[in-house]
Amino acid sequence: MAAATVANRPGAHELLETMLQEQKDYWIDDYGLVWDQYDEAFTEPAPVHALGTLIHTIEAYMAAAEATTEPEWLDRAEKMTAFAHKVASKNKWRIPEYFDEEWQPSLEAGKLCNDGRRYHEGYVTGHSMQLARFALQVRAGLRSMGWTVPDYLLELGTELFERARVDGWRRTDGAPGFSTGVNDQGDPVPGEDEHQQWVVCEGVCATVAVRRAMLDDGHRISEVEHFEHCYRSFIDYIHDYLITQPGRWIRRLGPHNESVQPAKSSRWDVYHAIQAMLAIRVPLWPPTAPALSRGLLDHPEEPAPDKKSWNFFGLRG
């Protein structure tokens, strides 16, 4: 909806404002984070929090901040990344998938999710890659407002990326690819060791984000060669194994890149693929849709801070 607002679609801004008010009324919890789901009567939240929900809420709030010019939503997104840093920094930069109602890690709580989503026993490498990118986008968003940027955001982005890369990117009997789920030792979890399209797409986006953040900080090209190598490796994998013809991608493969059934596509795969293809061509901030609307395609360098584009009235002191 934020993208539709940026595109100036009829009624989009009003609907976005309604949705954001519902976030405040129902979804934001006492910790400044978000509930995962409610009961069918929409009266009580389920006593579970999922990492995937937290991650996509960070993404949604960044988009909302840009579409509404309200820094409040970027501020909320930063609080969520701070929580992720607190958890990951104490767990060798791996983040559990599920938490109980008090935000304590709990695999059992994950079994309470009743909306048909997949249950993961391991750490999901693609979620770490997403969160790495979002941490760096939050950082870039704060810089665009001229706010002081917490040091932990760069650390979170780089450490999550490296941990997920080392754990997930591997060759199984010579077959490259990202393992979807890993255990506490960084080894693939049986049954979660398939190579999913969305995971490598998030690997592409994360390595681009770390590289871009370093370049925007003034690092030389020679200092980001590692990330350029990672980018080429991930893109080559997509080209060699996932794209069957222009516009058609394979959703998932086995750990040896063998065909897996069922492997039907979904709209979520399109979302990940589009962002992976655009990542190197747009800046970290603003988010993708407003970056395109502003004519920033193929201008990935950090734009100058623009405080005048933000509505600071009534925000924190």
Digit-coded pLDDT (tens) for 132-182: 999 999 999 999 988 889 999 999 999 999 999 999 999 888 899 999 999
Please give the Cα distance from 80 to 69 (Å, whole number): 19
In the prediction, which pLDDT does 308 show? 64
Q: What is the CA radius of gyration of the chain?
A: 19
Give the C-alpha separation, 244 to 249, whole Å: 6
Cβ atoms of residues 256 and 173 within 8 Å: yes
Report pLDDT digits (tens) over 29-46: 999 999 999 888 888 998
pLDDT in tens, 196-251: 999 999 999 999 999 999 999 999 999 999 999 999 999 999 999 999 998 889 99
**Residue 317: pLDDT band by 50, 70, 90 thresholds?**
very low
Higher pLDDT among residues 117 and 89, named by residue: 89
316 closest CA partner among 65, 29, 83, 71: 71
Q: Which one-letter amino acid corresponds to residue 48?
A: V
Q: What backbone torsions phi and psi does residue 276 show, to the nearest 5 degrees?
A: -65, -35
pTM here?
Answer: 0.94
Taken in order 273, 222, 133, 14, the sign of the CA dihedral is: negative
How far apart CA 180 and CA 4 sit, in angstroms, is 31
* Distance, CA of 38 to CA of 46 (rounded, Å): 5
Q: What is the mean pLDDT of residues 83-90?
A: 98
User: Partners of 105 in the beta sheet?
Assistant: 99
Question: So what's the pLDDT on residue 316?
Answer: 46
The residue-averaged pLDDT of 17-32 equals 94
Q: Which residues contact 196 (CB under 8 A, 6 or more apart)?
A: 126, 178, 180, 251, 252
Q: Which pLDDT belongs to residue 19?
A: 96
pLDDT band at residue 314, thresholds of 50, 70 and 90?
Answer: very low
Name the nearest CA neighbour of 211 among 197, 228, 196: 228
pLDDT of residue 315: 52
Helix (H) or strand (E) holding 12: helix 12-22
* Polymer length of the chain: 317
Comparing CA positions, the residue from 239, 232, 254, 229 lying closest to residue 178 is 254
**Across the chain, which distance is largest between two alpha carbons, in Å?**
58
| Long-range contacts, stretch 174-177, CB < 8 angstroms, 24+ apart | 175/255, 175/256, 175/257, 176/233, 176/237, 176/241, 176/257, 177/237, 177/241, 177/253, 177/255, 177/257
Neighbours of 312 (CB within 10 A): 12
pLDDT per residue over 278-313, tens digit each? Answer: 999 999 999 999 999 989 999 999 987 776 667 665
Question: In the numeric block, which tokens belong to residue 237?
Answer: 């994998």
Backbone torsions φ then ψ of 294, nearest 5 degrees = -85, 0
Instruction: Count CB atoms within 10 A of the CB of residue 277.
Output: 14
E strands present in 76-164: 98-100, 123-124
Among the residues of 145-266, which ranges form H helices? 152-168, 197-216, 225-237
Q: Which of 76-80, 99-103, 171-175, 214-218 comes out lowest in average pLDDT?
A: 171-175
CB-based contacts of 308, cutoff 8 Å, min separation 6: none
Check residue 65 and give its pLDDT.
95
Average pLDDT of the residues in 261-274: 77
CB 251 within 8 A of CB 197: yes
First to last CA, the chain: 29
φ/ψ of 19, rounded to 5, equals -65, -40
